[in-house]
Structure 1
Amino acid sequence: RAPSSPSPRPVQDCRIFPSIAHGSHKDVSSFFSYTTVVKYECDEGYVVVGESKITCRNSHWSLPAPQCKALCLKPEIQNGDLSVDKDQYVEPESVTVQCDDGYGVIGSQKITCSENGIWFPAVPKCKWEFQMGCEQVLVGSKFFQCLPYPDDVKKALEIYKLSLEIGQLSKRES
């Protein structure tokens, strides 16, 4: 009995180009060549993932067609940073939003670049946290942590510094 041979690759027509979503292709073959060369380009807002040129010879494509993946622009995060800082991201890339000290994430901390080029879930915000139990704090270092806005903390620190300086001047005069 003859040994079984591997199944042959399916015969493909080099005149039928593999199509791709969110992109287009064109035949860039040389006029005198027996090889078909197809170049792929993506629509605006998408980027080629894979080889942009593929060839077909003897009814066999050299590679699968590339894909066009969506691009997401860097999200603007006030009072926070991103775990990966780039100008643009390719689907399905994810990033984590990290808020500055004193700020809390409002929304989902992890966001993913989706197929339509939009962050999902929506880009969160970093909001100043008014900590519970702070209403009765009037003096001491905890006072500064309990003010509702960063500008209030800055003003309170300036006033506190001035009061210390006035106190030192008073001691010198007496």
Structure 2
Amino acid sequence: ILLFVFVFLLQEKRCDFPEIKHGVLHNEYNYRRDFPVSVGKKYYYSCNHDFVTDKKQKGGYIHCTQEGWSPAIPCRRQCLFNYLINGEYPYPAKMYFQGDSVSVNCYADYSLQNAQTVMTCTEDGWAPAPECLPPEKASKEPVDIQHGNSNLKSTWCTQWGDYLLTWEHVAERQHSQRPTGADRCHFPPLPISINTGSTVGICTGPTLAI
């Protein structure tokens, strides 16, 4: 009888609809009414831009198991190491994945934020940001500017004249002419004073129109 009950409980194990952070279940509207589903079911999903499956692909299958959905974290961040302001970076660029760390070489008298020497690929991207700072700036904490909009995203920025640029575009344009209007970050007015060329911290604003 105990064996029968055990087998029955195993058969009754079911999985609720999977909430895939940074991804989407394919044809979820067609499948949603079927949940909860029994162990053994699998569904195809894909990850958002800059995220990949545990097998480092853009899409894969998520499986209902006795322990729940597998993989437990369907989509993981991938971070491209293709620049390091005031430091050395690989060429060609190298791809890292969430949880990976890499040691960096800054130019003399420069270091990462808080004198760190290692960057880690996190769910939100590189931490600390890929910029080597002079001593007087490296020890300062970045400013977190919140505007109260859940649809806004955070990105490292710097001022270039009247423009706020992401670090990516700073790296691309550090040897070029003044950026055009198309390179402007569409941020709300920032409630802090900014010096040309200085770090302004984590600027929170709408998706960039670059």
Pair member with larger Rg = 1
Q: TM-score range by the shorter chain?
A: 0.3 to 0.5
Q: TM-score, normalised by structure 1?
A: 0.47
